[in-house]
């Protein structure tokens, strides 16, 4: 089944499901649904289900939408947060048959519907990981989820710069389009349709449950209250989007406005933060590609086919846009034809788009088979592009994109020594995403966030040092399966984080990375279920939850002697408390590399004992203690060439441990990379 499949009855909201939601997150079912449950459930509470059909509200374009879940009041973001979008998954609806009718197969694909309680966007805390990037999976659960019954299927993400930063999400067809028709076989479940019919409607969960939601919707999640609302519906000349939906969305901080791309018309729409459209930019007009609304297929046309994206009314390559970013007084956007990146000026006074659009570059032939669905600028002015494989409309929800087509590319501008004119490089550098197929397991989302220190904590002095990219099967590799098994699951579907500078020094295969699976479920037969990513960066969150707050101020920590342990009292600029170094040395007796090093109490703090541990849990033989000063040794068996080992050091005075009270510890971290050369075992 598809990702996030709910093993319970598909369209049902059983009380046994609703109760944990309320207990864990404060969510409660709307009173309309609660009353329906009470009036239709003579059975025990644990078996209550919503009747078929579900209680529906009416959206645009004939969409039938379920009532949204009420969310608790509270600030949205925590310090160190990523937001990821994804297909919300499926669940089986329960057919009901009458006496003397053939009993239906409840496991049939015809009863597989969008999971209304499935997650469409999740917020995950990614600060304080505890170890450096070493290729391991970081097990993190989301602290907040946005469900399909609220926002439907979404891809694009933007965050504004309000005191309590607000989140914006765009409706998408990137995970397929699903339609239904009236119940034809009297089993109380509407029929899933392959092709359009005159009475076709959108499947519940395709566009969410907020009144008026549809294919052109932008949703807003309030940063102060956490509540979801319909921010705007993107239309063109009064025509609503018929299903091709939106591409991506970008926030222009200089003018406090939003830009969003429309996959149906190819237009770029400009909105103020009140949700009012203030301008439309038509890229197609640059090449005399006129938008023809009469050519757009709707779900009521026989030509509409859920397994053929070319019938969904998506704009032709010449005018189809997706990824978008505002930078340096210009709006950059990706066009499917090429693919290519274009830009247009943003008026510095009014924020309106100018009439100076120009082509920046065309992607090389090796990357011509996938669209650019997202883009971001790094601090050094490099433009990073995220590609997503071509969309597949899979009736079984499994393969939603072509696999192995998603690359992450880095473009920089260089100066021509002869003309003194700057231009984009012709051949971009490639960030590896995943361990297989040349690192092209990306699914189209890229974002830039703060640097990580050696213990995996955010260092917000370096705000743009980490690149986040969405992807699937990220830790799968036949060649490195043994080493990867030490650091978590192989089929990680979610995000990969790596240093933004690594293309300059190399990270192939991507051992110097973190990997986070979005939901902790590891199906092997899916593609295209993961969408975009965004990062709440150095500005913080506003209304910060306590468990994501700053660490305790050591000056107020009982038992700290700032004379004896000055490094604990100046966390912003700590002095050195010991000197440690190590390297990977080949043990010719065993034929394996070993970490060999030395730690010294260089400042005379009375450190006489050293505890060594592996925070990632990859190396064997840890933790252990050794006298100080002394030689440090540990095996690096199982690590492959290029993989980095990390050892955390805690130096202390053994006498201070005798009281049983907390004692000061001098912390340091050693990182050692296994050489490319093989460690040869000497013959006896």
Q: Where exactly are the structural domains of the chain?
A: 6-547, 557-673
Query: DSSP E strands: which ranges in 412-548?
Result: 413-415, 422-424, 429-431, 442-449, 451-452, 458-459, 466-471, 494-499, 513-517, 530-536
Round to whole Å and give the CA distance between 162 and 222: 10
Round to whole Å and give the CA distance between 142 and 24: 12
Residue pair 481/508 in contact (Cβ under 8 Å)? The answer is: no
Helix (H, G, I), strand (E, B) or coil at 587: strand
Full-model pTM: 0.77
| pLDDT block averages, 10 residues each, the chain of length 684 | 38 29 34 33 29 40 54 86 97 84 83 96 93 92 95 97 94 98 92 96 95 96 95 95 97 96 97 98 90 87 95 95 96 97 96 96 94 92 95 94 92 85 91 92 95 85 89 94 91 96 83 95 92 82 29 37 54 66 88 86 81 80 82 80 82 76 75 85 79
Residue 550 CB coordination number (10 Å)? 9
Sign of CA dihedral 118, 120, 121, 126: positive
Residue pair 91/67 in contact (Cβ under 8 Å)? The answer is: no
Q: Which helix (H) or strand (E) holds 321?
A: strand 321-327
What is the model's pLDDT at position 626? 87
What is the model's pLDDT at position 90? 96
Q: Which helix (H) or strand (E) holds 594?
A: strand 592-600
Quick one: residue 367, left, alpha or beta (phi over 0 = left, psi -120 to 50 = alpha)? alpha
Q: Name every residue whose Cβ is closer than 8 Å to that of residue 242 and which is 6 or more positions away in sequence.
A: 61, 215, 264, 296, 297, 298, 299, 313
Residue pair 322/263 in contact (Cβ under 8 Å)? The answer is: yes
What is the model's pLDDT at position 79? 76
What is the model's pLDDT at position 55? 40
Class of domain 6-547: mainly beta
- Concatenating the DSSP letter of every residue in 188-228 gives SSPEEESB--TT-EEPTTSS-SSTT--TTEEEEE-TTT--E
Secondary structure of 554-569 in HEC code, one letter for each residue = HHHCCCCCCCCCHHHH
Query: Which CATH architecture group holds 557-673?
Result: Sandwich (2.60)
DSSP 62: G
Residue pair 181/193 in contact (Cβ under 8 Å)? The answer is: yes
Residue 621 CB coordination number (10 Å)? 11
Round to whole Å and give the CA distance between 608 and 670: 19
Q: Name every residue whose Cβ is closer than 8 Å to that of residue 245 and which is 6 or more positions away in sequence.
A: 170, 171, 172, 173, 174, 215, 216, 263, 264
Of 138, 143, 91, whose CA–CA distance to 121 is shortest? 143
Of 103, 150, 95, 92, whose CA–CA distance to 122 is shortest? 150
Sign of CA dihedral 469, 475, 478, 481: positive
């Amino acid at each position: 089944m598809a990702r996030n499949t709910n093993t319970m009855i598909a369209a049902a909201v059983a009380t046994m499901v609703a109760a944990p939601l309320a207990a864990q997150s404060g969510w409660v079912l709307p009173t309309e649904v609660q009353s329906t449950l009470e009036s239709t459930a003579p059975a025990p509470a644990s078996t209550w289900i919503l009747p078929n059909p579900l209680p529906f509200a009416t959206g645009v374009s004939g969409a039938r939408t379920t009532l949204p879940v009420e969310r608790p009041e509270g600030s949205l973001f925590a310090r160190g947060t990523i937001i990821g979008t994804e297909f919300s998954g499926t669940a089986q609806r329960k057919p009901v048959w009458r006496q003397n009718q053939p009993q239906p197969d409840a496991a049939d694909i015809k009863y597989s519907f969008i999971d209304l309680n499935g997650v469409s966007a999740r917020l995950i805390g990614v600060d304080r990981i505890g170890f450096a990037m070493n290729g391991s999976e970081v097990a993190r659960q989301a602290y907040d989820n946005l469900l399909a019954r609220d926002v439907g299927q979404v891809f694009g993400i933007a965050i504004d710069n309000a005191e309590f930063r607000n989140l914006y999400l765009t409706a998408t067809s990137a995970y397929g389009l699903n339609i239904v028709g009236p119940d034809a076989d009297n089993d109380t479940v509407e029929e899933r349709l392959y092709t359009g019919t005159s009475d076709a409607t959108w499947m519940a969960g395709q566009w969410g449950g907020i009144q008026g939601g549809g294919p052109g919707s932008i949703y807003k999640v309030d940063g102060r209250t956490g509540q979801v609302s319909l921010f705007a519906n993107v239309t063109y000349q009064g025509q609503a989007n018929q299903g091709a939906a939106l591409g991506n969305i970008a926030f222009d901080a200089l003018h406090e406005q939003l830009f969003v791309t429309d996959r149906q018309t190819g237009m770029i729409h400009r909105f103020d933060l009140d949700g009012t459209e203030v301008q439309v930019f038509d890229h197609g007009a640059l090449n005399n590609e006129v938008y023809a609304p009469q050519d757009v297929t709707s779900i009521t046309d026989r030509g509409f086919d859920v397994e053929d994206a070319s019938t969904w009314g998506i704009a032709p390559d010449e005018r189809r846009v997706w990824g978008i970013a505002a930078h340096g007084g210009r709006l950059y956007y990706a066009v499917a034809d090429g693919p290519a990146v274009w830009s247009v000026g943003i008026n510095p006074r009014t924020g309106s788009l100018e009439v100076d659009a120009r082509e920046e570059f065309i992607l090389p032939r090796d990357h011509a088979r996938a669209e650019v669905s997202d883009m971001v600028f790094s601090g050094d002015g490099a433009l990073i592009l995220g590609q997503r494989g071509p969309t597949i409309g899979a009736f079984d929800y499994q393969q939603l994109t072509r696999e192995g087509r998603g690359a992450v590319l880095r473009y920089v501008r260089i100066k021509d020594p002869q003309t003194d004119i700057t231009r984009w490089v012709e051949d971009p550098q490639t960030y590896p995403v995943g361990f297989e197929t040349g690192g092209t397991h990306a699914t189209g989302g890229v974002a830039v966030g703060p640097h990580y220190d050696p213990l995996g904590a955010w260092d917000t002095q370096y705000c743009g040092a980490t690149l986040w990219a969405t992807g699937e099967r990220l830790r799968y590799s036949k060649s490195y399966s043994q080493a990867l098994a030490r650091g978590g699951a192989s089929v990680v579907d979610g995000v990969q984080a790596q240093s933004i500078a690594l293309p300059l020094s190399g990270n192939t295969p991507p051992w110097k990375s973190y990997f986070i699976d979005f939901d902790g479920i590891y199906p092997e037969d899916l593609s295209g279920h993961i969408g975009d990513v965004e990062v709440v960066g150095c500005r913080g969150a506003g209304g910060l939850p306590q468990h994501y707050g700053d660490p305790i101020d050591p000056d107020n920590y009982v038992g700290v002697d700032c004379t004896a342990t000055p490094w604990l009292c100046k966390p912003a600029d700590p002095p050195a408390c010991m000197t440690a170094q190590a390297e990977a040395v080949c043990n010719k007796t065993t034929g394996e590399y070993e970490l060999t090093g030395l730690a010294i109490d260089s400042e005379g703090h009375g450190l006489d004992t050293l505890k060594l541990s592996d925070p990632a849990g990859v190396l064997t033989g840890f933790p252990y203690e050794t006298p100080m000063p002394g030689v440090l040794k540990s095996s690096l068996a199982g690590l492959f060439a290029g993989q980095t080992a990390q050892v955390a050091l805690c130096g202390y005075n053994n006498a201070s441990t005798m009281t049983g009270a907390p004692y000061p510890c001098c912390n340091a971290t050693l990182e050692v990379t296994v050489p490319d050369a093989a460690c040869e075992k000497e013959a006896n």
